[in-house]
Every structure is written in C-alpha cells, then in structure tokens.
Structure 1
Amino acid sequence: MLLALARAKINLALEVRGRRPDGYHEIVTVLQSIELADVLTFAPAEGGLFLEVSGEPVPKANNLVLRAAECLRQATGYRGGAFIRLQKNIPVAAGLGGGSADAAATLVALNRLWRLGCPEEFLERLGAEIGVDIPFCLRGGTALGRGRGDELTSLPSLPALGVLLVKPFYGLATAAVYQEFDLHLHPPRYPAEEVTHWLYKGEWRLAVKSGGNMLEEVVFRRHPELRRLKEELLVAGAFYAGLSGTGPTLFALFPSWEEALDKAPVFAAQGWRVWVTTTARRGIRLFRGENDAATFTG
C-alpha cells in the first residue's frame, strides 16, 4: 500500500495576456505549494479502478483521480487496477488546485505501485493533457508558469511562511471567471515578472509584496464582500493578501504559522471558512505502509 500527500497551491502572481488559439488563456503565474493537503491511499486491485472519497464533497463526474489513473494505464499499456481512497481536505472549486493535486499524486503513486518506471518528464507531459495545474502539482515548491501555466521554471524557494486561507461557502467555476474577464478591458500589469525578479535577488519579502492577480477585479466586481475581506486581512497584519487562482479563496501571508493561527478566529467568527497552513517546498509526498508504519519513499 502507498500513501500520498497531495498539497494545494496558491498563486503569488497571475497575469492574463489574452486568449490562445486553443481556447485557453495565455498566462504568466508564480505558483507556490502549501502544506494543506489531501491524503490518498493506493492498493493493487483486480478488475479495474475503484475510488472511495471522504471529507469535502467532490463531484463524481469527470473525477481527476480516475482520469489520471486511466490515462496512465492507457499511456503505458498496464492492465492491472487499483483501489484508491481519497480523504478530501482541500476545498473544491476554491482556486487551490485540489483536483490537480489529487491527479498528480495519483500519477506518482501508481507509477510506483505498478512499477512502471516512468520518468518525471513523462508524468508532467501526461498530466498537462489532463489539467493545466497538474505539472506544477507534480513539481511543487515555487515556480514560474507560462503558456497555459504548465510551462514551468523552478524558482528560489520561499521560507516557511504562515498562510491563512479564507473562503466563502460558495465556489467559483474557472471557465466563468475567465469568460467574465474577456468582457472587459484591463490595464497591463506584470506582477509575475516582479515577483520572479525579487526571488532571484533573494528578497522574498519584496517578492511577496509585489504579487497580484489580474482576475481579482473580475471576482471582486461580482463579489464585493471579497474585496472587503482582502482589506481586512491586510489590516489584520498580513504582509500580503490576494485571490488564489480564480478564487473565491483569499490567502494571507504572515511571518509564521503561529501568527496566522492567531488571526484565524477573527475571520471564522465572521462566518468564513478558514484554514491555517504554511508554504511548502514540494508538491507530492509519498509513503509506503509497512506494518502499520509509514516510510517515506521520496
């Protein structure tokens, strides 16, 4: 049996530079792994692929875990199956890449469980065919994403910062947010370039404070309560707060986990869903179960 931690992501910066011929948008983004993670277990099975889900509600249609498993089988010609359990901790339709993280963990774990020996580059290419955030979730850490967000360059890592996630009780559809974005003119902004510049200089505080998400105005126009929430997070002492992906989750960065934890009750009392976590230096972590113990396998 294998156990995998599938970590969520936030977008420190997100630029939208127009629509591509393939229907996707050309973006430049700085992606960051965080410790909030779904937990998946994998065991060999005869007769196909089986998935059991607990925790956060997940739509059964078009589930990325089963899609990733089936794509890996087809790409390699493997005929065996697997029983997969998913403990869903990352909220759905939240801008945190939870489904992509689960798919990435599935590719890594089944590659190991089925002894396929596929290289990382192969898994990244296969993942990009399933979802644009999957290559980053496979790689993890801090990275610059271009194209659809799947053309990656690893960046210098951030230190372990406290992350306060605050989310309303509704979700947002990625496609709907981008469609709304296309209806309006937007002044050019280049926060991803600034964040990247300062990370290479070793100035992580300046890097983080240079962040920005061009989709915020679209989301805030429809949901002004999120604009007010961002302002309140900054007043609470965060040195950066912003929308992750297409939202609706906002993240606030603090110098430590303890400081983020200290602020969480204020927002929970207002009726928001909150999580406290930290930045992470990798996306997927894999363990092997042996005699009820978990052994890290790389």
Structure 2
Amino acid sequence: MVCFEKAPAKINLSLDVLDKRPDGYHNVEMVMTTIDLADRIELYALEEDQIKVSLWSRYVPNDERNLAYKAADALKKAYRITKGVHIRIEKSIPVSAGLGGGSTDAAAVLRGLNRMWSLEIPEDELASLGATIGSDIPFCIYGKTAMVTGRGERIEPLPTPPPCWVVLAKPNIGVSSRTIFQQLELDQLTHPNTARLMESLHAHDFTKLCQSIGNVLEHVTLALHPEVGRIKDKMRDAGANGVLMSGSGPTIYGLVEHESKAQRIYNGMRGFCHEVYAVRILG
C-alpha cells in the first residue's frame, strides 16, 4: 500500500511572544497561513516493524532525528501499531528557513499514516500528538489560516487571506529558532497589532493586511544576520506591498496582489539572493 501527502509551507503573518513559561518554552500569539510551496510525502507500507526515511538533502537527517521519523514513531507507540513504513520525502521547502518545512512533513506523515492504517484518529488528537514533537506541528495538521497560541498547541481557525502572491527570498544561511529565542529581551519588544491583522482577514482587506503584519523575532535575527535586513530592504524597494520575516527567519516574504508584479519582484530578487520563490497564498 502507498499513500501520498502534500506538505505545504507556512508563513507568519504575525508572530508575538507574550512571556516565558515555567517549562522553558514561550507563550506565543501567531497568525499563520499556508502557501503553495510544498514538500511531497510518500508512505510505503512495510512488512517489518520499522521506520525508514529517504530524502535527498545533505542538510536534513534521514534517521530518528528527522521530525517525520519522530511523528511515525510517536503514532506507532501511542496507538500500539506494529506495522512498518518507508517515508520518502521530496523536499521543495528550504531547510531552516522559518517556513515550517520539518513540521509540515511530520504533520503530513501523521495524516497519511492515519489514512493508510485506517486508524480514524480525529484531527484534534493528531494535533495533540504532534505537539509532543514540535510546536508548529499542530497548525500544520490543520493547515489553512489560524491564530496559534500557547506554545503552538491551541489553534483557532481564521478566514482565508485575500487572494495574493507571496515572493519568498532566503539567503544562504540557516537560523536556529532556539538561538533567536534565547536572545529575545521580553521587556523590550514592540508587539504587532494582532487584533488589527485579524480585522483585515475578516474584512478581506489586502491593504490593511499588509499594514498589520509583524514579527517580534525579526529585530533579533536582523541584528545577528545583517544580510536578512538587506534582503528585506531590497524586497520593499522592489515594490512588495507587505514585507516581513517568517518565523525566526531567515526567509523574507513580500505580499503582492498581481501576478505580473510578483514576477517582476521575483526576477529582481533572483540576482540578489540564493533562493527565491513566487507562489500563491493558500490559507
């Protein structure tokens, strides 16, 4: 038996950090949405009770350190499954980019194995299981657009953003979320206006959306990696309507209403940056 799953990337329209929890994590308030840049997950049933991971990326491990492996292992243990699976991952989402690549792969594995093994586990149970592996996995289980709170486990669906294009530019560096959060000074944050952002989604107002996006981690990453700031300036200069870093970076994205303009910005950024993509918002 074979099962296929699409694993779309996410971007943060808003990322706010509220406080630090006793368990060492941070309480966050984020608005996230999915975009049409995706990995492809193939699941092959194995007779042996084992998990195998195959992928072609020198930056991603193919053993028990991989989030997709951890997801399959957690599902097997939680529901006492003695079947095996070979997970093949075709990567399109950049690695360590702030786009949730590992988390969305893990979520796709949970969804796919739920179908392949006919487990009929409700989405909220899959999301709870995913939360034990990674903070972004619960959102990736549901996808679309949502307010994400707690340390990532509480999901509140939101309206889809207005139709638009997303131009992404990632420099040739990786950023550790742990490092960025460790550098964060909670008493010096300028918090994004999340309420206004949510109003823009309910009103389907593209201009207001672009004026309301924000990310408290951005200034930390830009201080450590000045090239990320230069990419943001270049994206703005090229004419993107709303420009922001996704997650802990280093990817900068620009929201653009029309395809022709998105293509011009894409072409301009390609001469300036290592990896550039122009995709539709899914949300």
Which amino acid in the other structure matches residue 114 of structure 2? N
Matched residue, 2:180: 177
Percentage of matched positions with identical amino acids:
37
Q: TM-score, normalised by structure 2?
A: 0.94
Give structure 1 regions of 4+ aligned residues with deviation exceeding 3 angstroms. Answer: none
Letter of the 2:154 partner, please give it. Answer: E
Q: Structure 1, residues 94-143: CA drift from partner, whole Å, max 9, x if none?
A: 10000000000000000101111111111011011111101111111111
Structure 2 matches for 1:170-249, cutoff 5 A? 170-182=173-185, 185-249=187-251
State the secondary structure of the residue aligned to 2:56.
Answer: strand
Which residue number corresponds to residue 296 of structure 1? none
SS at match of 1:261: helix
Residues 204 and 152 of structure 1, relative CA distance in 2, 3 Å threshold:
farther
Alignment check: 8 A CA contact 1:163 1:278 kept: yes
Give the deviation of 1:189 after TM superposition. 1.6
Match of 2:16 in 1: 15
| 1:32–1:81 CA distance, 2 compared to 1 (3 A) | same
In 2, Cα distance between equivalents of 1:36 and 1:257: 16
Partner of 1:93: 96
TM-score by length of 1: 0.90
Measured in 2, the distance between the counterparts of 1:109 and 1:225 equals: 38
Is the alpha carbon distance of 1:67 and 1:179 closer, same or farther for their aligned partners in structure 2, counting shifts above 3 Å?
Answer: same
Whole-Å separation in 1 of the counterparts to 2:244 and 2:171 = 14
Q: State how far apart, in whole Å, the 2-side matches of 1:134 and 1:162 are.
A: 24
Q: Any stretches of 5+ residues in structure 2 without a counterpart?
A: none
Shift in alpha-carbon separation, 1:265–1:56, aligned structure 2, 3 A: farther
Alignment deviations for residues 136-181 of structure 1 (CA, whole Å, 9 cap, x no partner)? 1111111111111221111110133111110111100000000011
Q: Which runs of 5+ in 1 are unaligned?
A: 282-298
Distance in 1 between the 2:86 and 2:230 partners?
44
8 Å CA contact retained: 1:38, 1:102: yes
Q: Distance in 2 between matches of 1:208 and 1:152?
A: 22
Alignment of structure 1 residues 17-36 onto 2, 5 Å? 17-36=18-37
* Contact 1:95 1:247 survives alignment (8 Å): yes
Query: 1:1-298 counterparts in 2 under 5 A?
Result: 1-47=2-48, 48-55=50-57, 57-60=59-62, 62-182=65-185, 185-281=187-283
Partner amino acid for 1:229? I
The 3-state SS of whatever aligns with 2:41 is: strand
Quick one: distance in 1 between partners of 2:59 and 2:258? 30
Question: Retained in 1: the 8 A contact 2:53–2:62?
Answer: no
Q: 1:56 to 1:259 in 2, by over 3 A?
A: farther
Partner Cα distance (1:263, 1:36) in 2: 17
